[in-house]
Structure 1
């Protein structure tokens, strides 16, 4: 807005104010209303159905948060109970009869005592006015505004979330929305206003129809929280990419020329020693977390126990009794900004758990930690154990091993998500460093005993890891006056590296074409290839014993498939880890002068061993289902319909003995022939001819999957399915890979397959028919423009991650 425009607006506002006449006092206006006194006082006018809000100090900054006290119940849509939206720093500016809720721009600042320097930055970047209120009363500079429309709106974004999930076009129905008085409260440092909102739509999607009693009317509660800024005294800690902390960043235009303009601080709770000079001291104020009373026993106790592991880390950092976990007292509000909470969340399908925070946008100080744990997680781990053990000999006994494993996972999960709310990021290299962190994603460590039976006793860790203790020490150590903090922090990181512990996080581990050979989700061990072989042996032993003993007496036999799917795919994540060894590079987030090796290629022998192990996952003997099992699984019975946790199939109602093998092979080959990985193989061989190249890799893949002969027709059919998968991925690579040389090498391999394994005459057997079609498809591909729609793909593999549910983030 120009200066003239602003002057006109102010003049118009003053005329409006004059036309209104003198405003009543707040006491006069609110006489007879229900007053909730606190940080931001609110008044409920029951007769008019209006909420009035008192702005005590215009221009004072505070934190505004929107959240969901009640959820939709669908993991796929993502509107969970307890979900917290991003916090915003806001202030209230009065302009005549209006009060503007302004969000200053915290991404661009001038941290300076010079007001002109600060003003230059503020005026260079946009701010956001989030709402405009009308003043209804005034007393001694305090103003009363009508907040009804402000709170009775879709502040959390339910409508766009439903639209993104293709669940229909909904709108807010004001006639079916109202203030939710039981949870509208005001306290000295925070005010909580809750509303019931109803969204209506004419064409609800399948997910909404699953979870809403009347899907045309979806009612969800939303919360508006106004939170006082933390008191002064918090000292921000500068971020370091090697330390593994989340944080905030902003441009500081007051930094001297030659210094980095982007400033980065870690996110952490305020924690101070009573005696900073003591090696071990009690805290000035401990960090306390509360576990949802809605979690049933023995789960609730497991959540408490797992979260309490963090006290070990704070003890290592020099604090005594600084981290506490308690069961939530009756009546405590989980979304009250004063409390750190571990909340138990239910959904209709399995999904991610996560740890969120409310953080001071200025400094990175964590004000509230809020963990959301999906309740189906524990049931999925129980199912994993059932599939591995097939424990029901008579069908009526309930061996304790499954519950022990599931509760061990819940303890680890509780610790993991609390770790996020303490500021820690994922550390996906920890599983290769002796399970050094609960901030990794753990695959159950399943072992074979000497007699061939399955051992789950060490499936999950039972304590905090070495990395976690050192990370908390780095982030939370309180240094006495006179100690150079930067030097001390560098010493902690040097000690960490000296113990063989490093940090590699999400962007390095989640990408299908990931580069780091030890940064992966749901894997185990320092040697990915050896662990894959071991995992395949466990899978083989469990499959040989698998059958009706996997379900209890009285269950439909068709439900054996629920336990079969995760067992059959028991190797999937270790295969993903092993494939990253091909063309892989070990690296660190090295800084100049810290004496770390920034980049080290994986030795050629290790890469070759990884490919050999991966070829096991394409062996028809490994992919075949046990014959007795195939004779045991009937079509789904009445009221037990098919769902996404089962194998997709070519055979309709009947169980498919071939498509699971094709889907599993598609997973391995797709990862192996990833565009980025293929380009790295070309590059590494060009830089060092002693290293495996793409030509060698494709040759080994084709030699290992083509030309095999099987007396068993079932194995032969799986073999043909695997060959088809290989050819389809080669055509995709040759047709769409960004690097021209990758396309050239893949096309050359297709020509070789056509020459060596093709068939061009009238087929007289299933094998000849298969080869004739491959030949025709390869020829068509080589002679015409390729489009991905031409691919013949196997059925999609059932969802996997997270181990225990599917959905982080």
Structure 2
């Protein structure tokens, strides 16, 4: 029904193709040249497009039947000498859809626009074609013709010996000037639906020379695309955006197709599947596990991949996703070929993992997936587990090498399953952890059944809420959560009664409506909106439905860990080094609690699924909860330095005062940052019980200045007071310099009034107390008056 924009040249070329091919077939010179070219080729390989190589020159032999067909061209790194911007196996750009066309002398490579669609029977399609001419990326002279299969031969050495910006793994540009002498085509292989080309490339830049091998794939797409499924904000899937033009409406209709694999029953099993029987899919998803991964972790990685089998079994497909080792002694297997989906090991110092996929842009069908698993992610998994659970779990204490392989294996399994979720098309679901009441995470029975969040796709790690004495032993995320099962059903379950994506909508929407009363099925994207407003229920690394309460539990555990950090990290000769790394890990985890609670200040919940639990799309954080959040932050700031910089720690790590003060000042500055004050004002205009900016600033001042002289004399308190005053003064100056555009007049009046209030306090305190205290408050006067 719909078509993508076609090049006018391509249309004309296809109309006249039959005549032109006849003319070419009679050209005996081109036919004879084909025999000469093939006979002199070092290597030739037959496929849907055949390839020929001679002295590093590369020719493609493209049959006339492929002209006008939809193809993908993609690129990944095969080998590289420097991992500064890319690693082996990485693909940083989606492949692009292209088509070939030809005339008597040339073959043309067209880049296709896959975003805009139109009914070819619509009257305005004539205008659409006139205004949608496709660009020609490259033109190639036809150097020979194979009369036997009616194919044109073109040399593509220059194209593949240079970067193709649209699919370059280096972000569209090289990291330096290419070295022609170091650039050559290494290999080219042809198959029934793909061509694989590897090119060695050398570059010289300002910093260093580097070498890489780029692996390019040319893929033939199915003539009939998979039936798409329309995307929605209520479920977290990556999607492929589309725009549709129609004479039926004056606007441009925007929508998107879900990115998902083609999981469907074999024709002979459809009836059984409809009847609720388990069947194997026509084409299962296979992930090959890198043979360079240490053997002791392979079992856990494979388990993480196949954990998703349960979700597919729930919709009637068994063995829908399978993990296999890289084939040994099989020369036909190439990990970087388009046909292979791989779980790849990356030996760099980076602590990361990522799940990727290539799609058919016409339908959103995932054709190939990858997981990049970086070496140091295992260290990061250990540090998270220690910093979040060491207070309640003796088994995680010590060095990573001291921890039982089964515990580390569970963490690797979790990370593997999470990244496979991305390869299956799922986005992060930051609201999955919000589905659980905070105190339920202190329950041994609840956590054993549900883990820490309703989805493995949340950025919710281990249970930092459970307290010593709670007897919680299940401290990690679930293998798969309630939301994960539903999201697989929503995207992958066939709806046999629907003939097209529009007919599926009623069923899909009903599935969501049926589950709207249970927060375990809610989805939430990455936090942050245009005006800087934050949703406290969409916090990365948070747990539970009350971030303030959860943060209090987390901070209590952090203090226990810090008190015992020397004993729990110093079991071998690397103890001092491990102590420093784990101190930083615990401190980073503790700092997350400030970030979580800060989101309540001027925060606003937004729910795309309206239900009894959440009857309004937007709901502001209550005044009470905002004041509670500020209370937690200030109480922690005023007391934390009794335990973050103890004598036991400084004896082994040196002075921590400078680092601690810097962190302290940054947190005070955050409280009065532009983004916090803007969203607090916005929030106050939407509720009957507002927490206004003037009251908020007054509360901060009371915490900082309405204290005893004994506290005023500490370096920590004076540091925070100075940072607070500097921050307020800076806001006034910036707003004045910007012509009053940063804040409205009401907010500026509140900031000025608060500075005046602090100034009056400083005037009084500068007249009494010891010399050090007087000097301090005179400095505050100087800042305000200066």
TM-score by length of 2: 0.84
CA distance 1:119–1:58, shift in 2 (3 Å) = farther
Corresponding residue number in structure 1 for 2:551? 532
The yes-or-no answer on 1:599 pairing with 2:606 is no
| Distance of 2:646 and 2:100 partners within structure 1 | 72
Corresponding residue number in structure 2 for 1:178? 184
User: Which has the higher relative contact order, 1 or 2, with Cα contacts under 8 A spaced 6 or more apart?
Assistant: 1
CA distance 1:628–1:482, shift in 2 (3 Å) = closer
The Cα of 1:429 is off from its aligned counterpart by 0.7
After alignment, is 391-400 or 549-558 more displaced? 391-400
Contact 2:645 2:656 in 1 (8 A): no
Contact 1:68 1:156 in 2 (8 A): no
Corresponding residue number in structure 2 for 1:371? 371
Contact 1:736 1:743 in 2 (8 A): no
| Distance of 1:199 and 1:623 partners within structure 2 | 54
CA distance 1:534–1:262, shift in 2 (3 Å) = same
| Distance of 2:752 and 2:504 partners within structure 1 | 58
The Cα of 1:778 is off from its aligned counterpart by 2.1
Please give the residue correspondences for 1:547-558 in structure 2 after superposition, counting only pairs within 5 Å: 547=566, 549-555=568-574, 557=576
Contact 1:371 1:421 in 2 (8 A): yes
CA distance 1:566–1:232, shift in 2 (3 Å) = same
Contact 1:353 1:373 in 2 (8 A): yes
CA distance 1:130–1:669, shift in 2 (3 Å) = farther
Corresponding residue number in structure 1 for 2:446? none
Contact 1:241 1:589 in 2 (8 A): yes
| Distance of 1:763 and 1:180 partners within structure 2 | 79
Q: From the two aligned structures, give the one with the greater helix fraction.
A: 2
The yes-or-no answer on 1:200 pairing with 2:204 is yes
CA distance 1:661–1:773, shift in 2 (3 Å) = same
Could you give the per-residue CA deviations for residues 514-564 of structure 1, whole angstroms, max 9, x where no partner exists? 421210111111110001100110111111111264134222735522211
Contact 2:379 2:400 in 1 (8 A): no
| Distance of 1:448 and 1:539 partners within structure 2 | 12
Corresponding residue number in structure 2 for 1:337? 338
CA distance 1:82–1:169, shift in 2 (3 Å) = closer
CA distance 1:687–1:250, shift in 2 (3 Å) = closer
| Distance of 2:778 and 2:464 partners within structure 1 | 43
CA distance 1:295–1:371, shift in 2 (3 Å) = same
| Distance of 1:534 and 1:262 partners within structure 2 | 45
Contact 2:76 2:214 in 1 (8 A): yes
Please give the residue correspondences for 1:285-300 in structure 2 after superposition, counting only pairs within 5 Å: 285-300=283-298
Contact 2:711 2:717 in 1 (8 A): no
| Distance of 1:774 and 1:572 partners within structure 2 | 27
Corresponding residue number in structure 2 for 1:650? none
Corresponding residue number in structure 2 for 1:491? 510
Please give the residue correspondences for 1:67-466 in structure 2 after superposition, counting only pairs within 5 Å: 67-71=76-80, 74=83, 77-79=85-87, 81-113=89-121, 117-118=124-125, 120-125=127-132, 127-140=134-147, 141-155=150-164, 161=170, 170-181=176-187, 184-201=188-205, 203-204=206-207, 216-230=208-222, 232=224, 234-254=226-246, 256-257=248-249, 261-273=253-265, 274-275=269-270, 276-282=273-279, 283-330=281-328, 332-350=333-351, 352-385=352-385, 389=390, 399-400=402-403, 403-434=405-436, 435-446=453-464, 450=468, 457-466=473-482
Corresponding residue number in structure 2 for 1:473? 489
The Cα of 1:199 is off from its aligned counterpart by 0.8
Could you give the per-residue CA deviations for residues 168-199 of structure 1, whole angstroms, max 9, x where no partner exists? 96111010122223xx3222111110111111
The yes-or-no answer on 1:751 pairing with 2:756 is yes
CA distance 1:35–1:397, shift in 2 (3 Å) = closer
Corresponding residue number in structure 2 for 1:701? 700
| Distance of 2:515 and 2:396 partners within structure 1 | 48
Q: How many residues align?
A: 725
The Cα of 1:507 is off from its aligned counterpart by 4.3
Contact 2:433 2:455 in 1 (8 A): yes
Corresponding residue number in structure 1 for 2:638? 619
RMSD, matched Cα: 3.7
CA distance 1:633–1:322, shift in 2 (3 Å) = same
TM-score by length of 1: 0.81
| Distance of 1:755 and 1:593 partners within structure 2 | 50
Contact 1:295 1:344 in 2 (8 A): yes
The Cα of 1:667 is off from its aligned counterpart by 4.6
Unaligned runs of 5+ in 2: 1-6, 437-452, 736-741
Corresponding residue number in structure 2 for 1:637? none
Could you give the per-residue CA deviations for residues 551-579 of structure 1, whole angstroms, max 9, x where no partner exists? 34222735522211111232222321221
| Distance of 1:297 and 1:255 partners within structure 2 | 60
Please give the residue correspondences for 1:572-651 in structure 2 after superposition, counting only pairs within 5 Å: 572-590=591-609, 597-622=616-641, 624-633=643-652
- 3-state SS of 1:180 partner: strand
- 3-state SS of 2:229 partner: coil
Please give the residue correspondences for 1:700-779 in structure 2 after superposition, counting only pairs within 5 Å: 700-709=699-708, 716-736=714-734, 738-740=742-744, 741-758=746-763, 765-779=771-785
Could you give the per-residue CA deviations for residues 734-785 of structure 1, whole angstroms, max 9, x where no partner exists? 34462223333223222222221356689974433333322212222xxxxx
Contact 2:231 2:237 in 1 (8 A): yes
The Cα of 1:666 is off from its aligned counterpart by 4.1
After alignment, is 328-337 or 561-570 more displaced? 328-337
Could you give the per-residue CA deviations for residues 316-349 of structure 1, whole angstroms, max 9, x where no partner exists? 2232332222233235433221122222222233
CA distance 1:371–1:456, shift in 2 (3 Å) = farther
